[in-house]
């Protein structure tokens, strides 16, 4: 098949969509990325991402972007402190060196920037929020919120967890995982949360206790990202009565719900320089399948959203991009390529999502800390300072 004759629309310029655009463009394909964000300078929020050798890094290698990656990654951001809710440190990468290089961390902003810089000018059409599409000729006419319309022979949805392309393939509804995250970003952390900043030491913290969790990471721009995790009802964000845009109300909620947590953690909500996003965590059915089509498919969170408790979301999105680009380049026709990509992706993600869901449950049980200690011990030979107060 000569894929280079086809006009390919990628909807969504996150890590999955931009990796796919790069992989296809570098071999001469005609790709356009339609992205909702207003322009390239839009500030991408959220925790750092650790890229795994067998998936995210593999995709970047194939995209010839490892040099750019090493110019942008955060060498110390993977150093972990495993803590309990009382403030005890159980594992400390800062005092006992473990090799974190096989899962190097990068901030979302620089990852997007390096992927964008690898693309030809005007590959991304900003301020393009996809709304719907209609069949036209052998492809699709895409309609955007700003009133613009574009034709494409092939559409690939990489528009994240609430994908608007997904319904053209599947009507399987997302399933609530039982855990809701409150995600926060603190800018100028040295000034606005100095004690947490010292505790983080440029790395990350996983803290568990009281059937709750807090995950923190140091970003490259003087800010930190964190998220609390708690077992609550699906509609809790709405039903709680908490206005998550009001920092005083959020602080009060944390003081009440995380009252058993050491004072150090309360610094997270003490500042008004805080951006908060509540995120109930969903996943798609583990055994999902859909009828393969000949001109539309989806990758990344659009295909397989899941909670972040195995750190696999971005890695799966980038591996999807790699496997889909290879299938498109080596198959006889688009439908065969999509069939190959989708069947591989369904099998791979079933396993990853199942581990993720197990972690999501175990990390919010009374035995969470022991579960994590056992998990780390199973990965490599960590020695733990159980119940030692190091800070």
Ligand X SMILES: Cc1cc2nc3c(=O)[nH]c(=O)nc-3n(C[C@H](O)[C@H](O)[C@H](O)COP(=O)(O)OP(=O)(O)OC[C@H]3O[C@@H](n4cnc5c(N)ncnc54)[C@H](O)[C@@H]3O)c2cc1C
88/258 with CB nearer ligand X: 258
- Residue found under tokens 């790069």: 22
Q: At closest approach, how far in Å is the CB of 99 from ligand X? A: 18
Q: Which stretch binds ligand X (CB under 6 A): 87-95, 250-258, 310-318, 360-368?
A: 310-318
Rg of the chain, C-alpha, whole Å: 21
184/209 with CB nearer ligand X: 184
Q: Exposed (0-12), middle (13-18) or buried (19+): which is 245, by Cβ within 10 Å?
A: exposed
Residue 254 binding ligand X, by CB under 6 A: no
DSSP H/E element including 181:
strand 175-186
Residues 19-78 that bind ligand X (CB under 6 A): 34-37, 46-47, 49-50
Residue 15 binding ligand X, by CB under 6 A: yes
Among 186, 314, 322, 334, binds ligand X (CB under 6 A): 314
Q: Exposed (0-12), middle (13-18) or buried (19+): which is 135, by Cβ within 10 Å?
A: exposed
Q: How far apart, in Å, are the Cα atoms of 16 and each of 84, 262, 319? A: 34, 38, 8
Q: At closest approach, how far in Å is the CB of 260 from ligand X? A: 23
From residue 123 to residue 152, what is the string marking binding to ligand X with x (rule CB under 6 A)?
-----xxx----------------------
Q: At closest approach, how far in Å is the CB of 303 from ligand X? A: 8
Whether 108 has a binding-site annotation, put simply, is: yes
Whether 84 has a binding-site annotation, put simply, is: no
The angle formed by the CA atoms of residues 290, 316 and 379, to the nearest 5 degrees, is: 130
Among 78, 139, 160, 184, binds ligand X (CB under 6 A): 160
CB 133 within 8 A of CB 166: no
Q: At closest approach, how far in Å is the CB of 333 from ligand X? A: 25
Whether 166 has a binding-site annotation, put simply, is: no
Residue 304 binding ligand X, by CB under 6 A: no
Per-residue tokens: 138: 């052998």
CB 151 within 8 A of CB 184: no
Among 17, 110, 184, 229, binds ligand X (CB under 6 A): 17
Contact residues for 117 (Cβ-Cβ < 8 A; gap 6+): 68
Q: Please give the Cα distance from 104 to 106 (Å, whole number).
A: 7
CB 176 within 8 A of CB 281: yes
Q: At closest approach, how far in Å is the CB of 50 from ligand X? A: 6
Q: Which stretch binds ligand X (CB under 6 A): 11-19, 89-97, 245-253, 372-380?
A: 11-19
Q: Please give the Cα distance from 63 to 70 (Å, whole number).
A: 14
Q: At closest approach, how far in Å is the CB of 237 from ligand X? A: 14
Q: At closest approach, how far in Å is the CB of 57 from ligand X? A: 12
Whether 159 has a binding-site annotation, put simply, is: no
Name the H helices within the chain. Answer: 15-25, 56-62, 66-72, 108-117, 189-192, 194-200, 236-239, 247-257, 263-266, 301-304, 313-330, 334-362, 368-379
> Please, what is the end-to-end C-alpha distance for the chain in angstroms?
61
Q: Which stretch binds ligand X (CB under 6 A): 15-23, 197-205, 242-250, 376-384?
A: 15-23
Among 73, 308, 322, 337, binds ligand X (CB under 6 A): 308
Q: At closest approach, how far in Å is the CB of 275 from ligand X? A: 12
From residue 168 to residue 197, what is the string marking binding to ligand X with x (rule CB under 6 A)?
-------------x-x--------------
Residue 161, phi then psi, degrees to nearest 5: -60, -35
Neighbours of 44 (CB within 10 A): 14
Residues 219-238 that bind ligand X (CB under 6 A): 227
Partners of 277 in the beta sheet? 183
88/341 with CB nearer ligand X: 341
Residue 301 binding ligand X, by CB under 6 A: yes
* Interface contacts to ligand X, rule CB under 6 A: 11-17, 34-37, 46-47, 49-50, 128-130, 158-160, 164, 181, 183, 227, 279, 300-302, 308, 311-315, 317
Which residues are annotated binding-site positions for NADPH?
43
């Amino acid at each position: 098949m000569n894929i280079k004759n086809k006009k390919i629309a990628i909807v969504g310029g996150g890590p999955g969509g931009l990796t796919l655009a790069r992989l296809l463009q570098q071999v001469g394909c005609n790709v356009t990325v339609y992205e909702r964000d207003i322009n390239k300078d839009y500030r991408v929020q959220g925790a750092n991402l650790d890229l795994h050798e067998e998936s995210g890094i593999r995709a970047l290698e194939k995209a010839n972007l490892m040099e750019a990656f090493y110019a942008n990654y955060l060498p110390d951001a993977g150093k972990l402190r495993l803590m309990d809710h009382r403030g005890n440190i159980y594992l400390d990468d800062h005092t006992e060196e473990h090799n974190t290089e096989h899962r190097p961390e990068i901030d979302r902003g620089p990852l997007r920037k390096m992927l964008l810089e690898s693309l030809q000018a005007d590959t991304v059409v900003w301020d393009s929020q996809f709304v719907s599409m209609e069949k036209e000729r052998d492809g699709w006419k895409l309609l955007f919120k700003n009133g613009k319309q574009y034709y494409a022979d092939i559409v690939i949805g990489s528009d994240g967890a609430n994908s608007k392309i997904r319904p053209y393939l599947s009507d399987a509804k997302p399933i609530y995982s039982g855990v809701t995250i409150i995600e926060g970003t603190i800018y100028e952390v040295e000034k606005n949360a100095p004690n947490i900043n010292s505790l983080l030491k440029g790395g990350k913290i996983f803290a568990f206790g009281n059937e709750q969790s807090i995950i923190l990471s140091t970003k490259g721009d003087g800010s930190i990202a964190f998220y609390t995790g708690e077992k609550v009802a699906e509609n809790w964000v709405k039903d709680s009565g908490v206005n998550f845009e009001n920092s005083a109300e959020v602080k009060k909620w944390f003081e009440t719900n995380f009252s058993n947590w050491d004072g150090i953690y309360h610094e997270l909500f003490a500042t008004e320089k805080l951006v908060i996003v509540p995120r109930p965590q969903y996943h798609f059915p583990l055994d999902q399948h859909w009828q393969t089509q000949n001109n539309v498919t989806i990758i990344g969170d659009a295909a397989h959203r899941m909670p972040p408790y195995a750190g696999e979301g971005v890695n799966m999105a980038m591996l999807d991009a790699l496997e889909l680009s290879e299938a498109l380049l080596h198959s006889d026709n688009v439908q065969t390529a999509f069939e190959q990509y989708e069947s591989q992706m369904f099998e791979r993600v079933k396993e990853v999502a199942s581990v993720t869901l197990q972690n999501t449950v175990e990390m919010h049980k009374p035995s969470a800390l022991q579960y994590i200690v056992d998990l780390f011990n199973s990965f490599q030979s960590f020695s733990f300072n159980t119940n030692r107060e190091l800070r």
